[in-house]
Amino acid sequence: MSTDIVIVGAAETDEIGRLPDRSVFELHLEGACNALADAGLTKDDVDGVATVGTPGPVQVAHALGITPAWLDGTSVGGTSFLFHVRHALAAIRAGLCHTVLITHGESGRSRVGAPPRAFGRDSLPGQFELPYGTMGPATTFTVTALRYMKETGLTHEQLASVAVAQRRWSSRNPRAAMRDLVTVEDVLASRLVAYPFHLLECCLVTDGGGALVVTSRERAEALGTRKPPVYVLGSGESAESPIISQMEDFTTSRSFRLSSQAAFADAKITHADVDHLMIYDAFAHVPIYGLEDMGFVGRGEAGAFIEEGHTSPGGRLPMNTNGGGLSYTHTGMYGMFAMQESIRQLRGEAAAQVPDVEVGVVLGNGGMFMSAATLVLGNRRS
């Protein structure tokens, strides 16, 4: 039997939202310190570091005084941190290291100490997207939606209902950026950003960070960590296209399907086992794709499923219970926050706590349907 891998530390930065006095690097370190404190560990217990390209694992390790035996700088968009958990799991099982710190920090709104966003004119986006007046995710990630609507019959009202459902959750979460309940009419009356997407169907742009500490169950017991462990029961990863126009089918994400099939098989679970779900929601259509591509509902059924309240408080599949990228926070790489909420729910310490959560699933998206990773987490061994 393979080694049990557990998350023993999980924390966000003290504040999230608008933090113009904090740099990207500071946000990484604050999240790291908070996660280590949450675990009851110190930097001397850590021998592996993973984070995205900037500032990168070397800088994070050096700043904290960690001498790593293992590093991972996988940088495949906002779901990178789910990949890091999966890679840490493999590294720990292989004996390459014992305890891994995974950090995220991003000054997505204030742009303090943040790398430039520009693509080169000779890059793939520079040649085949930017000449057409794309303005980041709001005009690229969104371009699949009308095709999906035509082929499945998804209505504008159902698309808007994704934002409505998530506001029902964030209204119960004091840390969420947007907490006022909204109606479908409110969403459709908000200004058009990129037809068919209105402002309230687009994610926030915020500053913040967070970190995780991952180790083996045996190590956690030997070190005496503070909180009950969250088990990584299964994982999967995949990727599709670096530019959205080359996705094979605009109505379904191949990488959502493949990463989720792999994670469910790895964890030996079925959909009925899932008590709580996080789907990376950069825009309102993404949870719709996620629900279908993961197999929670049939083709073309996700819009009605959300509209009918099944993912809302009291529904049978509580989803994006922090309010998601649409209402909680979205620093630009939201994957860390999706995992943090899943862990809070499994520990019973979420702001909008769902009763009896034993198995949670997190689907992370990177880029514009570019990459995906899926984790199955549980508060006990499978």
Partner 1 sequence: MPTDQPAAVPKAIPKPTPETRPFWDGAAAGELRVQRCLACLRHYFYPRPVCPHCGTSDVEWVTVSGRATLYSYVISHRPAPGFAEDGPYAIAVVELEEGVRMMTNIVGIEITPENLELDMPLRVVFEPRGDVHVPLFAPAAAPATGGER
The nearest distance, CB 250 to partner 1, in angstroms, is 5
Contact call for residue 21 and partner 1 (CB under 8 A): no
Q: State both tokens at 190.
A: 């908000």
Radius of gyration of the chain (CA): 19
Q: What is the footprint of partner 1 within residues 145-164 (CB under 8 A)?
A: 145-147, 150
Count residues near partner 1 (CB under 8 A).
36
- Contacting residues for 103 by C-beta, under 8 A, at least 6 apart: 28, 29, 31, 32, 35, 49, 50, 51, 60, 209, 210, 211
Contact call for residue 133 and partner 1 (CB under 8 A): yes
Contact call for residue 342 and partner 1 (CB under 8 A): no
**DSSP secondary-structure letter at 382?**
-
Options 76-84, 140-148, 211-219, 267-275: segment touching partner 1 (CB under 8 A): 140-148
Q: What is the C-alpha to C-alpha distance for residues 172 and 341, in angstroms, rounded to an integer?
A: 13
Options 55-63, 82-90, 122-130, 226-234: segment touching partner 1 (CB under 8 A): 122-130
Task: Please count the other Cβ atoms lying within 10 Å of the Cβ belonging to residue 105.
Answer: 32
Q: What is the footprint of partner 1 within residues 348-377 (CB under 8 A)?
A: none
CB 240 within 8 A of CB 255: yes
The nearest distance, CB 324 to partner 1, in angstroms, is 21
Contact call for residue 188 and partner 1 (CB under 8 A): no
Contact call for residue 116 and partner 1 (CB under 8 A): no
Q: What is the C-alpha to C-alpha distance for residues 125 and 116, in angstroms, rounded to an integer?
A: 15
Options 116-124, 232-240, 287-295, 308-316: segment touching partner 1 (CB under 8 A): 116-124
Contact call for residue 259 and partner 1 (CB under 8 A): no
Among 59, 75, 190, 245, binds partner 1 (CB under 8 A): 245
Q: In terms of CB distance, is 3 or 123 closer to partner 1? A: 123
DSSP string for 334-377 = THHHHHHHHHHHHHT--TTPPTT--EEEEEEEETTTTEEEEEEE
Contact call for residue 128 and partner 1 (CB under 8 A): yes
Task: Please count the other Cβ atoms lying within 10 Å of the Cβ belonging to residue 58.
Answer: 13
DSSP string for 248-316 = S-TTS-HHHHHHHHHHHHHHT--GGG--EEEE--SBTHHHHHHHHHTTSS-TT-HHHHHHTTTTSTTSS
Contact call for residue 243 and partner 1 (CB under 8 A): yes
Among 142, 170, 173, 342, binds partner 1 (CB under 8 A): 142
Site string for partner 1, 205-234 (x = CB under 8 A): ------------------------------
Contact call for residue 126 and partner 1 (CB under 8 A): yes
CB 360 within 8 A of CB 235: no
CA-CA distances (angstroms) from residue 261 to 82, 255, 269? 15, 10, 10
Among 96, 112, 124, 188, binds partner 1 (CB under 8 A): 124
Binding site for partner 1 (CB under 8 A): 120-122, 124, 126-135, 138-140, 142-147, 150, 191-197, 243-246, 250
